[in-house]
Amino acid sequence: MAGKKEKVVLAYSGGLDTSVAIQWLAEKYNVDIITLTVDVGNPKDFAAAREKALKIGALKAIVIDAKEMFVKYFIWHALQANALYEGQYPLATALSRPLMAKLLVDTALEEGANSVAHGCTGKGNDQVRFDVGVHALAPHLKVLAPAREWGMTRAETIAYAHKRGIPIPITKKSPYSIDECLWGRSIETGVLEDPWVEPPADVYTWTKSPDKTPNKPAYVEIGFEKGIPVSLDGQEYDGVTLIQRMNELAGDHGIGRIDHIENRLVGIKSREIYEAPAATVLLQAHQALEAMTLSKDQMRFKQKVAIEIADIIYNGLWFSAQNRDLAAYIQSSQRYVTGTIRTKLFKGSAQVVGRTAPKSLYNLSLATYDKGDKFDQSMSVGFIHIWGLPVVTQSQVQLLGDTEGPLSIIAPKKQLKKTKTAPGKPARKPNRSKQEQGKG
């Protein structure tokens, strides 16, 4: 139809920037705005957010409860991989963005939109996650980022809202930038930008200060099936409920606080505070169960894969072929990661204190030093001889006479008398008794 406006699907949070973006996009690009608000476990009045978007001028306001999808396809994948960015961050916010990007694309295709938009600035990681995710799934869609384009300060954005009658929160603004989902809470800016300053108490809302936690430890038994937690203390739960209950339990004991100097994708370092009670406990428990059910080589290789997957998630490459291929490996590695882990929660610390698994590789008859020991210790002599043969050979031929370099200290102060041999001929072996010849 001639004169019909194009549509833009906006990822809408209900905050200042995305609320202003509804009218800013409509004015600048002469388009109709459809807002999409995604529930990934963030505490928000979604009905109010929908009404607000319509009041501001959105053609349509869509709200999707994506918590179950978030857990099943994103959180559990990261947990099975033991993905921790730089060994600390459980990737809560980073995991939610590819899901939001997919839902933006799905909505755009359903609504016949030509573009999608988000409220990310040009300084953070999320802009990359949204842009790359959308273009990977639907290269024909345009991606608009008003906060990256309009060049307004916060004060100017507020003035823009007042001038156009856009309702904005009148409550006292938090001094921090906060993002929340089921898997964790991210806090930054304000006084936290000084890496010397201890995070103030008001930064934390999910976790108690360890000095205010119960004086008696709590024990929880976490049941896993193929690397996925399915029960707490014998009671089965769906994924969303299990994470919510673990967040409450571990948070009550002060567990899950992370203070991290992080390397952002855009090339700067930032100081990030995270609260991730459930993620902290479940990742630790999962690793403990893998220690029972994976071989040494599997565990060591999987640690390398975990680093790669964490980087993929953090860097916005969820929809890459590399992530898909590694996901297949992770799934295969979890075939026997079934069992129960008992964890002790006390004063800000989670400690694994018990493990059991039907396919455990831990064999008591081999490990014990007491009765029932079936390990044949006499076999160790030959094993040691063969295992150390390359080191012993090279040491005798090359290293014992080496008096230079950082390893020169290994040479004995008094060298053993060497047998002189003709050039190109091996030294004669000393005569050994038949008994000695049989020893390793």
- Per-residue pLDDT tens digits for 26-52: 999 999 999 999 999 988 889 999 999
CB neighbour list of residue 356: distance below 8 Å, 6 or more residues apart = 292, 339, 340
Confidence (pLDDT) at 423: 52
Collapsed DSSP state (helix, strand, coil) of residue 170:
coil
Cα radius of gyration rounded to whole Å, the chain: 29
- Per-residue pLDDT tens digits for 309-349: 999 999 999 999 999 999 999 999 999 999 999 999 999 99
Catalytic residue from among 177, 209, 380, 408: 177
* CA–CA dist 138, 76 (Å, integer): 25
Q: Specify which residues 350 forms β-bridges with.
A: 345
Confidence (pLDDT) at 437: 46
Contact status, residue 331 vs residue 219, Cβ threshold 8 Å: no
Asked if 115 is an active-site residue, the reply is no
List of domains in the chain? 7-173 (3.40.50.620), 178-294+336-363 (3.90.1260.10)
Average pLDDT over residues 357-381: 84
- Per-residue pLDDT tens digits for 3-34: 688 999 999 998 888 999 999 999 999 999 99
Catalytic residue from among 13, 50, 97, 186: 97
- Per-residue pLDDT tens digits for 254-313: 999 999 999 998 888 999 999 999 999 999 999 999 999 999 999 999 999 999 999 999
Quick check: 174 pLDDT over 80? Answer: no
Catalytic residue from among 13, 126, 186, 270: 126
CB neighbour list of residue 238: distance below 8 Å, 6 or more residues apart = 68
For β-strands 32-39 and 60-65, DSSP reports them as parallel
Confidence (pLDDT) at 1: 45
* CA–CA dist 379, 440 (Å, integer): 10
Sheet-wide strand order for 349-356: 235-236, 228-232, 218-225, 339-346, 349-356
Contact status, residue 45 vs residue 186, Cβ threshold 8 Å: no
* CA–CA dist 74, 184 (Å, integer): 13
- Per-residue pLDDT tens digits for 147-170: 999 988 888 888 999 998 898 765
Single-letter code of the amino acid located at 229: P
Confidence (pLDDT) at 413: 65
Collapsed DSSP state (helix, strand, coil) of residue 69:
helix
Asked if 360 is an active-site residue, the reply is no
| Half-sphere exposure of residue 277: CA atoms within 13 angstroms, side-chain side | 25
Asked if 126 is an active-site residue, the reply is yes
- With b meaning 16 or more CB within 10 Å and e meaning fewer, what string describes 238-270? ebbebbbbbbebbbbbbbbbbeeebeebeeeeb
Query: What percentage of the chain exceeds 70 in pLDDT?
Result: 89
Catalytic residue from among 17, 115, 185, 257: 17
Q: What is the DSSP string of 303-368?
A: HHHHHHHHHHHHTT-TTSHHHHHHHHHHHHHTTT--EEEEEEEETTEEEEEEEE-TT----HHHH-
Query: What percentage of the chain exceeds 90 in pLDDT?
Result: 71
The band of 101, judged by pLDDT with boundaries at 50, 70 and 90, is very high
The band of 438, judged by pLDDT with boundaries at 50, 70 and 90, is very low
CB neighbour list of residue 87: distance below 8 Å, 6 or more residues apart = none
